[in-house]
């Protein structure tokens, strides 16, 4: 599945959208890395606005997109899912290795990183928008309930662009 948008996962920044305890929306750009399951790992201060939001409500949305100067170049990912804290251990170590490989400058910031929390965004729904393939072109995937890959052993099920998920609206 990520072959359809693997280049977008190489970008440095994602926009993380959360909801404050009072219901107000909040968005923040964060550096991220990803794994084979398209889980997105990022470091942040747990008392930042989005860190506090996550502790109140782990549901979040993410966008990843390169800059585009014309409508024909608009493409990117829209995701919905949940954010979790990553505790020290094997998952943390593997995520750190990926993060340090993607952002070599963090090797000199180990003390800063240690004061922050590693989070993982676990997408349950992904939409690829790619106007290079035609105006408004979209593909969608949803993670299977069991987390097992249903398409190409990926744990994701593809939806045709004209189909919508129950309760979902385009946007």
Let me know if residue 166 belongs to a domain.
Answer: no
Question: CB under 8 Å to 69, separation ≥6 — which residues?
Answer: none
Q: Stretch 40-55: mean pLDDT, rounded? A: 90
Let me know if residue 103 belongs to a domain.
Answer: yes
Burial track 63-102 (b if 16+ CB lie within 10 A, e otherwise): bbbeeeeeeeebbbbbbbbebeebeeeeeeeebbeebbeb
Q: What is the pLDDT of residues 52-106, one digit of tens each?
A: 889 899 999 999 999 999 998 999 999 999 999 999 999 999 999 999 999 999 9
Whether 163 has a pLDDT exceeding 70, the answer reads: no
Rounded Cα gap, residues 164 and 114, in angstroms? 42
Let me know if residue 90 belongs to a domain.
Answer: yes
List % helix, strand, coil for the chain (3-state, nearest 5).
25, 35, 40
pLDDT classification of 46: cutoffs 50, 70, 90:
confident
- Report the predicted TM-score, pTM, of the whole model to 2 decimal places: 0.83
Let me know if residue 55 belongs to a domain.
Answer: yes
Which residue reads 């505790």 in tokens? Answer: 87
Count of structural domains within the chain = 1
What is the residue range of 107's domain?
2-159
Q: Stretch 8-28: mean pLDDT, rounded? A: 94
Let me know if residue 168 belongs to a domain.
Answer: no
CATH number, domain of 34, equals 2.30.110.10
Let me know if residue 170 belongs to a domain.
Answer: no
The predicted structure's pLDDT at residue 83: 97
Let me know if residue 139 belongs to a domain.
Answer: yes
Q: What is the pLDDT of residues 104-158, one digit of tens each?
A: 999 888 788 878 999 999 999 999 999 998 898 989 999 876 554 344 445 666 6
Let me know if residue 155 belongs to a domain.
Answer: yes
Parallel, antiparallel, or unpaired for β 40-44 and 13-19? unpaired
Strands of 2-155 (E only): list them: 13-19, 25-31, 33-34, 40-44, 59-64, 75-85, 117-130, 138-143
């Amino acid at each position: 599945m990520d072959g359809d948008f693997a280049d977008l996962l190489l970008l440095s920044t994602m926009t993380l959208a959360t909801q404050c305890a009072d219901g107000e929306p909040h968005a923040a750009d964060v550096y991220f890395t990803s794994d084979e399951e398209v889980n997105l790992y990022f470091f942040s201060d747990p008392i930042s606005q989005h860190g506090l939001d996550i502790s109140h409500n782990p549901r979040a949305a993410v966008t990843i997109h390169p800059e585009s100067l014309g409508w024909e170049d608009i493409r990117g990912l829209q995701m919905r899912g949940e954010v979790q804290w990553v505790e020290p251990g094997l998952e943390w170590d593997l995520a750190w290795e990926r993060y340090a490989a993607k952002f070599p400058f963090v090797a000199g910031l180990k003390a800063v990183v240690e004061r922050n929390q590693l989070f993982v965004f676990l997408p349950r729904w992904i939409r690829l928008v790619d106007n290079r393939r035609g105006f408004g072109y979209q593909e969608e995937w949803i993670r299977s309930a069991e987390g097992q890959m249903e398409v190409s052993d990926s744990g994701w099920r593809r939806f045709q662009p004209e189909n919508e998920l129950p309760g979902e609206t385009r946007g």
